[in-house]
Structure formats: C-alpha cells, structure tokens
Amino acid sequence: MNEPRGCDAVLLVGFGGPTRADEIRPFLDNVLRGRPVPRERYEDVVHHYELLGGRSPYNDLTMRQAAALRAALARGGREIPVAVGMRNWRPFVDDALASLARGGARRVLAFIMAAHRNEASFERYQGTVSAAAEKLGIDAPRIVYPAPWFAHPGFIAAAAARVADALARLGPAERARASLIFTAHSIPVAMAAESTYVAQLTESATLVAARIGFKSWTLAFQSRSGGPRDPWLEPDIGSALRKLERGAVAVVAPIGFLCDHVEVLYDLDIAAAATARDAGVRMERAATVSDHPEFIAMMAEIVSRHASAV
C-alpha cells in the first residue's frame, strides 16, 4: 500500500530497546525469537548493554520524535493521534494499534522508523503490524504506509546538518582533510540482493555529501551478526578506518540509523572509536537525525499529505 490513501492517526513503528538492566535478556529473547545465535555472541550483546548503563535510549528518543511530530502537526492545525509501537519491546505494536483503535482511528499511517528498506528493516515490521491488525479483527483500522523517503529533502537536510555539526567540531586544517564515512547496518549479501537497500543508501549518501560539499565519501557497514562464513555487506567500519593513513581524520555518519541504538552507541562510539585510536585516526561521529527539526518537518509533511486524502 502506498500513499496517498488517507489517515486519521499515526503509528511510529520501531525496533525497541530495554529500559533497565533486568529487561536486557527478555528483550534479546524477543529480538532473536528462537533463532540460533551462539551463546558467546548473545552474552557479548548483553555486555554491550551493560556498558551503556543497562539500558538503551532508543525508546525515549522515539517517544521524543513522536512528541515533536505531534507538536508539528498541531502547529499546522492538525490534531492527529501519534502513537509509538515497538517490534521487540514495550510499548509493543499490538498494544499501540489497539489503543488507536479504541480511540476511534480507522485509517492509520504506519511510519516504520527506517529510511532504507530491506526485508529485515521493513517487511518484518509490516508483518508485525499486520499480525497486530489481525488480532483486532473487525475492529482493526486500515493500515497504510508512506512511500520511501530516503531521498526526501527533509531527511537529507537533517542528515547533512548532523554531519556539518561534526565537521564544526574539527579545526580548520582537520576539516580540510577529513574523510567522510557513512555507515549502515550490515545485512546478508543474499538479502541485499533481493532489495534496493544498498542503492537507497548510496543515493542518500550522495545527496548528503553534495549538500555539505564532499565530492568523495565511503559507505561502510557495521553491526553484522550471523555465522562467520556467511557473506554480509562490506566493508566493515573497522576495516574502513584501518585503511586510512595514521594522522587521518574521519567523520563517521550513521545514515542508516534514525536515533541512537546500541549499534550506534557501542559499535561506533566504543568499538569503532577504539579501532580509530589504534590506527592513529581522529574519528568524529556525526549524530543521528533523531528529532532534528528538518526531519520532524518531513514527517509532518508526509502525515499531512495522507490526512488531506481522507
């Protein structure tokens, strides 16, 4: 289902994250859903959350995005309910959709919080929303989805502003020789071949780089999991950093993430930062778009276009 088909409510659909230490393992069990993962890898991820204080800021940041969207819509004269539902933790999609239905919503715009689409980042979330609607039966609202927005001027402007902020933290000489590395979550090569994921990432990166005046840049991947023999998208961010000369400067922009997951906070701010130090590289990490005004304005525009079609 593509736009515009109308909406009278919005559901932000996210990954979710644990909010305290005793939720880490139940949360990971939900994420894995019985998939075979080596125990060592499981415990490593538990440790990552523990290093970050036993919680993820993901839920709070997504709620902040929802609040900002609600306010932007209200300023535009639209009082539209905006709910948050997570695939892997509370508040779950089931509960959020049921709450919207009880409030009278009949057409819900499900805004999946991922700019670049593949089976793991989009279709699985659609499946979760469809299952939640099936549970509601005849009371289920109609679900519609926005068209892809990875090249939307608002998303590009927000991502470019975050990179510009990172560049501003460098001295003039460092800025002049800085390398720009965009990152996104790695996925299996076979999955990538069945989607436009890499093409979408490449277009987003090209547009952001052009906006801030970078003619050359690198797309790297991070946070791979799965069996070590299975091919996943490369180069890994660690490899990309190690290829730079000692004394180089790298601005790392996690364009594939909309707010801070553990993959950003651990895999970039801890693991990749350590790799950069070992390689003698100055690494500056750009922020995610999060609740940047340009990104929120983009969401509000998309919602308003759907609402106008009711």
The region of weakest confidence among 30-39, 155-164, 168-177 is 30-39
Domain chopping of the chain, boundaries: 9-147+291-308, 153-285
* 237 pLDDT higher than 50: yes
Percent of the chain topping pLDDT 90 = 92
Average pLDDT for residues 193-201, to the nearest whole number? 98
* 3 pLDDT higher than 90: no
Q: What is the pLDDT of residue 1?
A: 39
Secondary-structure class of domain 153-285 per CATH: alpha beta
Q: What is the pLDDT of residue 124?
A: 97
The region of weakest confidence among 24-38, 201-215, 232-246 is 24-38
Entry pTM = 0.96
* 221 pLDDT higher than 70: yes
Percent of the chain topping pLDDT 70 = 98
Work out the pLDDT band at 210, boundaries 50, 70, 90: very high
Q: What is the pLDDT of residue 229?
A: 80
* 217 pLDDT higher than 50: yes
CATH of region 9-147+291-308: 3.40.50.1400
Q: What is the pLDDT of residue 70?
A: 98
* 4 pLDDT higher than 70: no
Average pLDDT for residues 63-70, to the nearest whole number? 98
Alpha-carbon gap, residue 253 to 183, rounded angstroms:
6
Alpha-carbon gap, residue 136 to 4, rounded angstroms:
24
Q: Convert the pLDDT of each residue in 268-309 to its tens digit.
A: 999 999 999 999 999 999 999 999 999 999 999 999 999 988
- 252 in Cβ contact with 271 (< 8 Å): no
- HSE-CB at 88 with a 13 A cutoff on CA atoms is 23
Average pLDDT across the chain, whole number: 95
Work out the pLDDT band at 34, boundaries 50, 70, 90: confident
Q: Is 77 exposed, middle or buried (0-12, 13-18, 19+ CB in 10 A)?
A: exposed
- 230 in Cβ contact with 38 (< 8 Å): no
Q: How many residues does the chain have?
A: 310
Give the 3-state secondary structure of the chain: CCCCCCCCEEEEEECCCCCCHHHHHHHHHHHHCCCCCCHHHHHHHHHHHHHCCCCCCHHHHHHHHHHHHHHHHHHCCCCCCEEEEECCCCCEHHHHHHHHHHCCCCEEEEEECCCCCCHHHHHHHHHHHHHHHHHHHHHCCEEECCCCCCCCHHHHHHHHHHHHHHHHCCCHHHHHHEEEEEEEECCEHHHHHCCCHHHHHHHHHHHHHHHCCCCCCEEEEECCCCCCCCCECCCEHHHHHHCCCCCCEEEEECCCCCCCCHHHHCHHHHHHHHHHHHCCCEEEECCCCCCCHHHHHHHHHHHHHHHHCC
Closest CA to 294 of 65, 81, 20: 65
Q: What is the pLDDT of residue 33?
A: 87
User: Angle at CA 85, nearest 5°, toward 83 and 90?
Assistant: 120
Higher local confidence (pLDDT), 308 or 181: 181
Work out the pLDDT band at 151, boundaries 50, 70, 90: very high
Q: What is the pLDDT of residue 35?
A: 77
Alpha-carbon gap, residue 184 to 186, rounded angstroms:
6
Work out the pLDDT band at 89, boundaries 50, 70, 90: very high
Domains 9-147+291-308 and 153-285 share a fold: yes
The region of weakest confidence among 24-28, 29-33, 146-150, 231-235 is 29-33
